[in-house]
Structures are given as C-alpha cells and as structure tokens.
Amino acid sequence: MKGSLGLMCNGAKIGLLFLLLIISGCNTLKKVGEDELLLTKNSIVVDDEKVGNSEIKSLVTQQPNSNVLGYPLKLNLYNLAKENPDSTFQDWLNRKEKREKRLNNLLSKKQVNRLSESFIVKGASEFLKRIGEPPVIIDTAETNKSINKLKAYYNSKGYFNNTGDYEIVEGNQNKKAKITYNITLNKPFIVDTVQKNITSPELDSIYGKNAKQSLIKKGEQFDLDIFTLERERLTTLFRNSGVYNFQESSINYDILRDTTLISDDQLMDVKLNINKFRSSTDSTDTSTPYKVARLRKINIYADYDINGDTDTLKSIVHENYNIYYSGKLRYKPQALADAIFFEKDSVYRDLDRIRTYRQITNLNTFKYPNIEFIPDSTQTQLESNIYLAAKPKYSLNLNFDVTHSNIQQVGTAFSASVITRNVFGGAETLNVSARGSIGLLSDGSLSDDNFTSELGGDVTITFPRIWLPFNTENIIPHYMLPQSRLSAGTNFQRNIGLDKQSLNAVLSYNWSPTDRLKNNIELLNVEFVRNVNPDNFYNVYSNTFSSLDEIADDFQNDSENASYFEDFSADEPTLDIPEGANSFASDILNNLLQVSDEQFDEVNSIEERRRRLTENNLIFASNFTHTKNSKSDINDLDFYQYRIKLESAGGMLALLANIIPYNKNDIEQNLVFSVPFSQYVKTEFDYIRHWDIGGSQVIALRSFSGLAIPYGNSDNIPFVRSYFAGGSNDNRAWNAYELGPGSTDNINDFNEANLKLALNIEYRFPIAGDVKGALFADAGNIWNVFDNETNPDAIFNGFSSLGDIALGTGLGLRYDFTFFVFRLDVGFKTYNPAKIGSNRWFDGYNLKKAVFNIGINYPF
C-alpha cells in the first residue's frame, strides 16, 4: 500500500511538473493578431502624479490579464485551447493515409466521428477557455470610454473644468503595449452659499433644528459623494422624526456655477429642494405636503392567518397594545409588548420599525413579521398593524458532517436536535440535542486503537430577555436583542487522550448594542472533566514514557529491579505500564533508587505532568467576551474584527473557604466533591484584518495573544483551558501540539502551555474558476509562565524569549464549493527555535519534511 501511494505521489509530482513546463512554455502572444496590441499595464497620471487608488483604477474599462505572482496563468491556459479542435483532429486524422482506416476498423466510423466531438478533442479546449482568459486587446473605443469615466469621476469631485487624454506606449516586444491616462484637474469649485426651498413647514422646522449637522458646508470643495450622504442623512432624520412616508427622491439640489471661467475663486451656489410627496403612480406632487405623524392605535395579531377572518378574533389591551388572537392566547402579553418599540401617541420613528423587525425575528417563534401603517385623512395619525405568524411548535433538525480537526485526520459526525418554541408562553426556546461521531486519528493507521468515538448530548433553554432577579432594561434595552441561556450537557470520548467524560452547565447572557458589536457574559460556566482511563497515560504520552524508560535503562542489570519491567528477561526490557512505571518514578522521588540530580529533576517533572494530566478537573468559571466585526455583508472583502475575552475561575469557591471547611489532598489543595478545583485568571485578544487589493485578491492578517495565570488552589492551567501551537488553523508548518513550549523540541506528545503569541499573514488570489491560491507566513509559539514548569527552555523570560518565535511559510490551494471552502495548505519550517544556531533557518525546507494540512473554510 505504501509503495502504491509513493508511486501515485511521484506520478502526481511528475504530472504537475510536466503541466508547469507546458504552461511556462506558452506564448502569451499566441492569439494576438498582427495589427493588435496586448494590453500589459494601465497607468493613471493626474496633474503629473501617478494614481494608485483602487477605486479610481477600477474606472478603466479594459484591464490587463490577471496574473499570479506576475505570471499570466489564465491567459496561458486560454492559449492552450485549440481554436478549431475538430478541424485540427481531422487534419491529424488525414495526415497519414491509412490512419483513418485503421481507426475505423478499430472502433467504427460512427465512433470516430463522435470522437471529434468528445471531451478529449473538443471538450478540453472548451474547458481551458472557460477557466482561462482571452488576451485583452487594446480597443481605442474602450479607451475613450475610460477617459470619459475618469473625467466624470473628477467632475463629481468638483473639478468641472478637468481635461483628459491617453497615450498608448508600445513595449520592447512587438504586440505589447501600455496605456497611460493623463488627467489635468484645473481649479476645483467651492461651495459659496447654501439655500433651501422646503415645501413642508414641518420638514423646514426639523431641518432648521438640525442644520448644524449638515454635511454640506460653505467654503468646502464640491463632492458629489457628500451630497449623496447628505440626502441619506436627511431621509433618516425625517423618517425618525415622524414623517413615515418620506422619500429620498423628494430631495434634489440646484447647482449654480459658471464652468466657462477658470479663476482662483471658482464659487458655486447650492440650493436644497425638498418637494411634496409624490406617489409611484402620480407624476406630479400631491396637494398635501409632508407631515409629522403619531401612532394613534397599535394592533398586534398574535395568530395571524392570511386566509383567516380578523373580524372574529378575540382581543385584549395590554399597555396600550391591542392584542388579537383566536381561541386561547398562547403568548404572554408582556413578551409581545417587549418586542414592539412603537408606543401609542408617540411620534413615528423608522428606527423603532427596524428594531421591532429585529426583535421579533430574534424571538425565533414567529416567521418574518409584516408591519403596516395606515394614515388617516390628515396624514398625522397612524394605525399600525403587526401581523405575527407562528413557526411550528416543534421542529426536528438532522445533520451529517464530514469533519477534520487537530487530532482527527478525518471523521464523520451525526447530530439530531428537537426544538420546542414558546415553552412557557414568553417566546422561550428549548433545544434538546444529541450527537455522535467516529474518526481516524492523525497518524492514519487503521488499527482499532486509532479509531475515536464521541457521544454527547445537551439541553439548552433560551429566554429572550436578561434573566435576573432585577430589571436590566435601563442598561440593556430590548433593542439590543438580549438573551439568556441555560444549558447542561455531557460528553463521552474514546481513544482521545485518556478517554474523557465531561459534564458541563452554563448560564450566559448575550446582547448586541449594534449589528457589529456583540457582548457575552457567562456568569457561570461549570465543567467537570473525568479521565476514564488514567492508567493509559504512558501509552498515550509515549514521548514522556520514553524519557522515563531511558532512565530505567541504568537499572536493567539488577534482578532486584525486575518488578519495574514488563519482561525482565528480554534483551532490552521496558518499564511495565502502568504499575512498573509508576512504582519506578515513585521510588526515585522517595530516594529508594539513586539517580543523578538531573535525572531526579526529570523524573519529578514527568511525575508532575502525569499527575496533572490524569487528575480530574473541576472548573467554576465566569467570563466576558466582547467582539466587533466591521464586515457589512458576505461579499465584503475589506474589513476588520476583534475579540476580547476575560475569564476568572475558582475565585468564588476560594472565598467560600473561609466559611466552608474544604477537605484537602496530599498537596494541600482544597477539594470539592473530592476533586481540586481550578483557580486562574485568563485573558485573550484576537484581531483579524482583511485588505481587498482588487481582482479578487485579498491580504489577510491575524494576531492572537493569550495568557492564563494559575494562583491559589492551582499551580497550573487545566489541559482543556491551556494553549497549543501548530495545526491547520495556526502555524501550518507544524502539526497540532508539536510546536513549543519555547525552544523545546516536541518533548511531549501533546505540548501545551499557558501563554501564546501568534501572527499570521496570507495573500489570497484566484487561479482558475473556483480554484484559489494562497501564500502564507505563520509566526508564533507557546510558553509557560507563572506556573510550576521548571524547564528553562519552556519558560517565557521577557523579550529574550521572543527569539523562540517560530516561523512557518508555505502555499495553499482552495476550492470554493459556495457553502464551504475545501483547503489544502503545505507548510515549511522556515525558522525552528528548537534547533541550534544557523540550523534554525530553513532546516526543514523541503517536501519530505513539509507539513500538509487539510482544512474546511479559511483559517481566519
């Protein structure tokens, strides 16, 4: 099997090399005619200065063929396609006298004719054309369009007297040329006076009260974008001041200027016009100007049926809301009232309408609501009808996934959940879920010990409000979409570490002050982790066992030590797991066996690690997480996001030690339910920035820093809350848990620590169709600090330890399946802090030592 895989890999490498040779040998001018010029570059020069602004450069209609690191890959793929593949096939067929006859005898005449239409002959060329790009031939008609678009752009910036032309510069190679666009701006026009003509007295009053916020100011240069923003500002202002039907199209500007004069004081007069309301079916203004309206009546239809009769519904009045329903009212009136931000007799605000939509949707109890406003004859009183159609009381969700993680090479997961809505009548949601998975460990062998399994379940109830014994509405209003969650769950793992069973319970609150800001408080996060198979420690952590077994080599020749070994009569006996290894370490630490000071320290470190990783964990924690994401929508490629997290564990239990006499273990740790509780503080900061550099190319950056400090009842951080380095979403030149701590060389099977620094940067670019490429550099490491670690190579000692930051570089391929992205990254160890001197640089920079990472979606 290994031999077959090796042949396949070598064949793939040879095939890839052959393809690269073919593509690199392509002539980019292959399909450029004699009298044509291939566009290689555009330059825009404004007042003798070159412009690099991507927005302005995008105004040029014709753009050079795209490239990957300067190489026109798509153009050369297109050039590989045959123009007339069927005629080329016929030429080949008739090139030798008996070739067609032999093919007809071998296949049949009909099959030979079909061969000319096959993918091999015709389909391959069509495929290459589809994923490639035809050569961009300079077209002066398109060039003139570009000049006009550039002039129009600078017109919109106040340079009404600008002029423009272009120059085609042929290169040293025939059939290649660059285009330089030259724009002369001349003097800009400046806003001199701003006048207004507002037909509605009420709009005029609102405008006057907010005139200081106007974006159009005397003495500033004309900019059409500013005028557009001012129209949007006024529309928002009026619609939030009672004018429910105000239309942005009612706003226009008269610009008075003389473009024939070019002087030092080119001034312009601006006149703001706000017309009367104009309906979509009427081309003239109505006789009634815009008016401020108030909510006269608010009706909530809690069981709306589009085919039902609203006249037969029952009704109640709650806090001036008229609630209509059929049969029995299934919802608490207060729960409905809290979701509506209109109030009777209040001035209409569009912001209240938007918030009402968001809150009703956030309840997860109703389908998307329908809200209408019916004015009276005076246009000053509104009746609001809010139609709420309930979602099904129960719903079942089933999911099947193929998974990949830092531990599992591949896995399958199945989950099922039952959702119950409006559990207690207050729009609460109950979610009962179960999940199971099996997977193959990362070493890839197919033995039973390398298959993992996981089984778990959770019960979660969500309340659409902050669930506390006191009122929090003044601090966290309903428009922030507050939620409280109470969950409990359990999880069983097999062949992952020491086989774990965990129980957890969480009480959390989350709210969103804006669409881009989110806050989450876990007031109580309790987790109990039980190691089901602690005797398997030395089998799982084989590196640790090897270190202990190496020390035991000095005691192989004395028969009195036979009890430590599995087979003392063997040529090279090994320690017996677990009794022999545990007894050997214990006897050394109790000075029953004599070893060197260095060996004693190493055994002490091994025993401390075994105790730490095999003992059960009890974590009582609270944390706060604040996130911000500037991404406007799924297609926004230029954004940033950050996450700040603060966590504290064990503090409350430690305070209770003065009241409750805890039991203690042999190292004086306080015990709760016979388990020492963890005590630490932890903080994290995660920052991501994406830059859109045009042509579907993105530069992505991520930085992460995290620190967890044990104190009081703990001298280390629980494994489940510690940090590791390496893996497909971290430093891709190392496998998960292989890097660090510090300058240590993978001394443990799962290396982790309590301080982490990471910095990743990635250049993403399109290759062909849905295939994307990436070049990346990953830097970072983990260290121990303020805990019980004694190895100086693993401890962070200030700025000098920054020399232990590892660097991995590499490249990747990604295929976009629309719903997810499949990712393959190859990482090379560029700077390895575990090496010495010059060996740290580029020691593992070859395919044999490369790390191949498979991932789903982008790493950041």
User: Would you state the pLDDT for residue 17?
Assistant: 43
> If DSSP codes are grouped into helix, strand and coil, which group holds residue 449?
helix
pLDDT for res 312:
82
pTM: 0.84
What residues have CB less than 8 Å from 186, skipping those under 6 apart?
A: 159, 161, 162, 163, 262
How much is the pLDDT for 287? 63
Question: Which helix (H) or strand (E) is 539 found in, with range?
Answer: helix 537-540
Give every residue of the chain whose pLDDT is below 70, as ranges.
1-26, 84-102, 104-123, 258-265, 279-287, 402-410, 441-450, 495-497
Phi/psi at 341 (nearest 5 deg)? -105, 0
Q: Are 81 and 135 in contact (CB under 8 A)?
A: no
- Prior bond of 573 cis (ω within 30°): no
User: Are the C-beta atoms of 466 and 472 separated by less than 8 Å?
Assistant: yes
Looking at residue 441, its pLDDT comes to 64
pLDDT of residue 10: 42
Distance CA 572, CA 553 (A): 8
- If you write DSSP's letter for every residue of 639-707 in order, what string do you get? EEEEEEEEEEESHHHHHGGGTS--EE-TT--EEETTEEBP-EEEEEEEEEEEEE-STT-EEEEEEEEEE
pLDDT at 5: 33
What's the pLDDT at 104?
66
**Which pair of structure tokens corresponds to residue 5?**
């895989």
The total of other beta-carbon atoms located within 10 Å of residue 239's CB is 19
The kind and range of the H/E element at 808 are strand 806-816
Q: How many CA atoms lie within 13 A of 726 on its CB side?
A: 24
Residue whose pair of structure tokens reads 């070493």 in the numeric block = 443
Close Cβ partners of 426 (under 8 Å, ≥ 6 residues apart): 331, 332, 334, 335, 463, 464, 465
Long-range contacts of 546-553 (CB under 8 A, 24+ apart): 547/602, 547/606, 547/747, 548/575, 548/581, 548/584, 548/585, 548/603, 548/606, 549/574, 549/575, 549/581, 551/588, 551/595, 551/599, 551/602, 551/603, 552/584
The pLDDT assigned to 16 comes to 43
β-bridge mates for residue 234, sequence order = none
- Quick count: other Cβ atoms within 10 Å of Cβ 637? 16
pLDDT digits (tens, 9 = 90+) for 255-290: 987 655 555 668 999 999 999 887 665 555 556 789
H-type helices in 210-349, by residue range?
224-239, 333-338
Instruction: Tell me which residue of 127, 166, 126 sits closest to 145, measured CA to CA.
Output: 166
CA–CA gap between residue 433 and residue 395 (Å, rounded): 12
Burial 435-456 (b: 16+ CB within 10 A, else e): bebbbbbbeeeeeeeebbebeb
Residues 6+ apart with CB under 8 A from 120: none
Per DSSP, the three-state class of 16 is: helix
